[in-house]
Amino acid sequence: MEFNIRPRHSHSNSFGNGAEKDTAGCRALNRKSIVIVELIGVEKTSEELLQKDKVMNYLRSVAPIPYATGFIFKSKIADFASEHGFTIDEYQVFVCGERIFKPYTTKLYEPTSNGQKKAYDEIVDIAFKIFPENSDKPLAWMWYGISKFEKQIPSINPMRGIRLRKSNIQIGNENTFSAHDFYFETRGCLYFVGEVFAIDEDLIPNARRDYFNLNDTCREFERLLHPLFYDRFKTIYHYANDYKKALQKQQEFQTSQSDYQQKVTTGGFLNADDKQAHETKLESQEKAAEKATKQITMRDQKGKDDEVLSRVYQALRDKYPVKSTPAKLKPLKEATKGQEYMSQKLSKFSKKEQKTISRIYSILRAILPMDTANMVINKIQEELSK
């Protein structure tokens, strides 16, 4: 297997002059150089080094290479870095003649039952942070994606998690910050996508390249990142979940309202008990929806000056739209008096027979799953109406 590395562009000294080495131990490269690595005589115990896909996936995560072309925020990251005097070392890396890129994507995917994948969320924007802010000599800076934060990002997304980099070379993996107790909850690390770029020369990768050597600068790095990772990130995905649930409660009430109105209009209730059960359920959902409305209003007011949460809330509203303020249940019930039940539409049967049919419908509803019961009842109603 052959590796071909070409310098792309760099504005730092990470791959500097002559025989200089960076903190990751990389031999300096002349701008016009091409480094070709050939693996020859690989032992059987290390045959995974000859598996092209595994090697490419590893290098896509670890190597100092550009973002994938389809990642629409790559220009925004580059602009932020340039504006603040930061550099992102990038090299053209080829494996067996195929160039590789960091596999960041705007869409977030989940696996399907047939072995494929489908998008369930997307990065709608990115946010930046410098550690510390307004410093002439920052230790690090980062970007992270803003999405709906509905769940932990599945492993089918190769660049999930916040990645740590020095000279744009990855240190550790997606669990590095979690392993060093940066998060309030261990699961918090996989709600996010992003990168932390370490700058300070005293932030030195350890021999295992899974974290930094523990020194005063490393401790200061941890102290500076703690408020964002431990507190702020927890707030973001917890508030996002609360906001989503509130929207869903509003939607559930509106869906039940529509179902109730349709049954009233078409005579879709089995009997008076069935109608009462629907009204009881609606009353409970109405209270939940009113509480949810207050929660959403409160979150919107408190988050109006918070750029990140505002974007999260908007993304959730787009996915879980609530058409309008739900109508009150009492006027709705008053407007439906005198409507028919299902059995009453079977006019060719006597009232006694209609009551018997209604009882049969009630029994079916009681002993069968709701979907199955409705399907059987509708089929019987269709046949008896002929």
Note the pLDDT of residue 168.
97
Q: Say which residue the tokens 């973001």 belong to.
A: 236
pLDDT of residue 346: 79
- pLDDT beneath 50: ranges in the chain: 9-30, 335, 339
Q: Which residue has the tokens 């409305």?
A: 293
pTM recorded for the entire structure: 0.80
Res 187: pLDDT: 93
Q: What is the pLDDT of residue 26?
A: 37
Q: What is the pLDDT of residue 29?
A: 44
What CA–CA distance (Å, rounded) separates 370 from 278? 13
Strand locations in the chain, DSSP E? 2-9, 35-38, 90-95, 98-99, 107-111, 117-122, 125-131, 140-146, 161-166, 169-171, 193-198
From residue 350, alpha-carbon distances to 344, 346, 347, 380 in Å are: 9, 9, 7, 17
Secondary structure letter of residue 126 according to DSSP:
E
Per residue in 366-384, pLDDT (tens digit) is: 888 988 988 998 888 888 8
Q: Is the peptide bond before 132 cis (omega within 30 degrees of 0)?
A: yes
DSSP secondary structure code for residue 5 in this structure: E
Which pLDDT value is given to residue 105? Answer: 97
Residue 275: how many other CB atoms lie within 10 Å: 19
What token pair was written down for 214? 């523990």
Domain residue ranges of the chain, discontinuous segments joined by +: 2-214, 240-340, 342-386
pLDDT in tens, 3-34: 676 555 444 433 333 333 333 333 334 455 67
Which pLDDT score, from 0 to 100, does residue 66 have?
97
Mean pLDDT of the chain: 86
Largest pairwise CA distance in the chain? 101
